Amino acid sequence: MQRGEVIQMQEETRTFLQVLSIAGLGGGINYIRHHRSGGFRALELAASIAVSAFAGMEAHFLVRWMGLSVDLQFAIAGIAGYGGGVLLDTAVNIAHQIMHARAGTKAGETGKTQGSTDILGTQPDAKEKK
2: left (phi over 0), alpha (psi -120 to 50) or beta: beta
pTM of the model: 0.62
Split into its structural domains, the chain has a count of: 1
pLDDT tens across 39-54, in order? 888 888 888 888 889 8
Per-residue pLDDT, averaged over 80-92, amounts to 82
Around 45, how many Cα atoms within 13 Å sit in the side-chain half-sphere?
12
Question: Where is pLDDT greater, at 110 or 66?
Answer: 66
Domain that holds residue 80: 3-129
Residue 130 pLDDT greater than 50, yes or no: no
